[in-house]
Structure 1
Amino acid sequence: MTDLSRYKTLVFDCDGVVLNSNQLKIQAYYATAQNYGASHEQSQALVDYHVEYGGISRFVKFDHFLREIMHKPVSDADIQFLLADFGREVERRLLGCEVALGLHELKKSMPHTRWMMISGGDQDELRRLLAQRNLAQLFDAGIFGSPDNKDQVMAREIASGNLAKPAIFFGDSKYDHQSSGRAGLDFIFFSGWTDVEGWQQYCRENAIIILPRLASLLGTESSTNSFDNA
């Protein structure tokens, strides 16, 4: 098991790590495309792009949807419609989704380590949701999301001294791994709720530590410290 006691900051992704929300986000992207007037094929193309590029901002995904899938000029009105509709579709789903076991116990076990959340989700929406779920207080180093992407957030928070190193990122996407690596953070991939296709091969090729869920850090769930189950 990774020794977390040496880290000054733990950084958490939200979807697929803290919340079992990846499939709900997929449903929300599909519903939003349908509400916009897209066909089944176009809606599914947005979902496929979302899954392929998990962890990047919804702003980027909707820009791609309009430009490359709907073949329309990207207008502010269309972007705002998609963002607002997606926000409604997401919020009504995520208010009741499963929360990772062991979060509060893990926080109590390491009182001197700061926690930060960096997500591809909308920052205001994320902060509101976590407050409603009684989780916001866990992340004493802040809760951050789009429109800034994860590279931008980490660079900014490291420069300000808020994201103190050594630090480790808990994620479930390729972008989580790549962006945290660029920022000089260690990384653990959580496989239990990921929607990334081919994650086993990706983790094997990049020698990434794999754990099923956050509860594994407490020893309350079986874990994989290598690639035995990949």
Structure 2
Amino acid sequence: MKDFIDKTIILWDFDGVILDSMEIREEGFREVLQTFPKEEVDLLLDYHKKNGGLSRYVKFKYFFEEIRKVKVEQKVLDQCAVSFSDIMKKKLTSRERLNGEVINFIMANRKRLKMHIVSGSDGDELRYLCRKLGISDFFLSIEGSPKPKIELVENILSINKYLKRETCLIGDSINDHEAAEVNDIDFFGYNNLELEKIAKSYIYSFNEI
């Protein structure tokens, strides 16, 4: 993959790429929203699966305003987000959930490449998890919501004065693809075969790079 080899800066998505966390994220939504009808929560989880790169703040707002059709106050969204984060901090700190081939690639190339995490997950929670998982030092920065991923990518490019042709984003969702496209950097799909249909490049395994 010549296009990938030419890159010197990698922006990594977190959930589903670095960490096998999607099942736990779904459990978190169910637990936070356990007092609401199951069929409504199921609709949210469908939205969550299709929009993995969006923040939980957006998803909870979608649940109340688009699924339940009620106006929701910001303090309610904040309470949901805090409860969700508390669950994640308890359940996502096992190193067994790390994606071995991705971590091996990162460790082997950490001195050659500049790497950052850009995620739809909460930024403070991400930094906590990375510390607990022992991977914080692999990345120059670890950034997450509530800022949207498009803005996070833009900020990293601007602050570090990175050349766009040397930068790529690796992710597993349509929102990751959008964040790369809007910021005019290359995108590499991974761990979601649906992205083969829209991404110019797709990584089937880091063991083959």
TM-score in terms of structure 2 length:
0.89
Question: Which has the larger helix fraction?
Answer: 2
Shift of 1:188: 1.4
Alignment match, 1:190: 190
Q: CA 1:18/1:163 → structure 2, altered by over 3 Å: closer, same or farther?
A: farther
* Identity level (%): 24
Deviation of the 1:176 alpha carbon:
0.7
Q: Does 1:208 align with 2:206?
A: no
Residue in structure 1 matched with residue 82 of structure 2 by the alignment:
84
Alignment of 1:153-172 (within 5 A): 153-161=152-160, 163-165=162-164, 166-172=166-172
CA RMSD across the alignment: 2.0
Q: How much has 1:31 moved relative to structure 2?
A: 1.7
**CA drift at 1:212:** 3.3
Distance 1:71 1:150, change over 3 A: same
Aligned length, in residue pairs? 206
Equivalence map 1:9-48=2 (5 Å): 9-34=9-34, 37-48=35-46
Whether the 8 Å CA contact 2:60–2:77 is kept in 1: the answer is yes
Superposed displacement of residue 5, structure 1? 4.1
Deviates more, 1:111-120 or 1:162-171: 162-171
Moved more, 101-110 or 2-11: 101-110
Give 1:92 deviation, angstroms.
1.9
Deviating more after overlay: 61-70 vs 104-113 = 104-113
Q: Given that residues 105 and 206 in structure 2 are in contact (C-alpha distance below 8 angstroms), is that contact kept between their aligned partners in structure 1? A: no
Cα shift readout 1:30-63 (whole Å, capped 9, x = no counterpart): 22111xx211111111111111222011111111
In the aligned structure 1, how far is the partner of 2:107 from the partner of 2:163? 17
Cross-structure match for 2:52: 54
Q: 1:83 to 1:110 in 2, by over 3 A?
A: closer
- What's the offset of the Cα at 1:88? 1.7
Taking structure 1 as the reference length, what is the TM-score of the superposition?
Answer: 0.81
Paired residues for 1:110-121 under 5 Å: 111-121=111-121
Q: Which amino acid aligns with 2:75?
A: A
Output the CA distance in 2 between the equivalents of 1:127 and 1:162.
Answer: 23
Deviation at 1:6, TM superposition (A): 2.2
Q: State the alpha-carbon separation in 2 of the partners of residues 84 and 207 from structure 1.
A: 34
Q: Could you tell me which amino acid in structure 1 is paired with residue 123 of structure 2? A: Q
Equivalents in 2 of 1:190, 1:147: separation in Å? 24
